[in-house]
Amino acid sequence: MTDLPEGVERRAFDGRQRLATRGPPVYGEPTDEEWRLWDAGRSKLAAMIESGLDTGLDGGETVLYLGAASGTTVSHVADFAGPTYAVEFAPRPVRDLVGVAEDRPNLFPLLKDARKPETYAHVVEADVDAIVQDVATRGQARVAVENRRFLREDGRLLAAIKARSEDVTRDPDDVFEDALADLREGYEVLETARLEPYHDDHLGVVARPE
């Protein structure tokens, strides 16, 4: 079983051992004392951990999170990480994200487009330990390559590639193959895993800068 970062544990929910982080509840998730369920069915990163991928996360890292939406997953990341920069370009979810950050002083919401890293380069510190990416846009691998500038030399990219965001008409395996080829323009791909049964037609990718 994959080692969990410090600050992430398996706790009993619904009679099963499931991932949990310690922090204020955000979206009505079940809690066990100060621990709250981190549901792999709602979080690509949790699904990557449950799928056995070695994320390289130990806890306390500086994280750049691309595609933070309303803060479901990034709230869990901020529970166990250090400074966490959360990039989201849609104004409505960012309003929710700002509310999540009120209880997490290490979480910094940024109303920015992950395809344009130059617009937040003045805010995000260099040499972050990990980039977590979950963007539902065409060109997901290109987003990762463009944001590589922020990652330290031996940092980790933890990306969920959504086949349907690239092309709904193509076979997902072909989409993933193309995305990995594009990723290799800037990264060494260390591990991949399909994220079923948690998320259909998604590929979890662990990579480091080349």
Annotated binding residues, written as ranges, equal 72-73, 88-89, 113-114, 134-137
Residue type, 75: S
Return binding residues for S-adenosyl-L-methionine: 72-73, 88-89, 113-114, 134-137
Q: Determine the angle formed by the axes of helices 91-102 and 72-80, rounding to 10 degrees.
A: 30
Round to whole Å and give the CA distance between 132 and 38: 16
Answer whether 117's CB lies under 8 Å from 146's CB. yes
- Give, in order, the Cα–Cα distances in Å from 201 to each of 35, 85, 89, 177, 189: 30, 27, 24, 13, 19
| CB neighbour list of residue 202: distance below 8 Å, 6 or more residues apart | 44, 47, 160, 161, 162, 163, 194, 195, 196
CA angle 161, 19, 54 (to 5 degrees): 50
Residue 70 is given by DSSP the state: T
- If 0-12 CB within 10 Å is exposed, 13-18 middle and 19+ buried, where does residue 10 land? middle
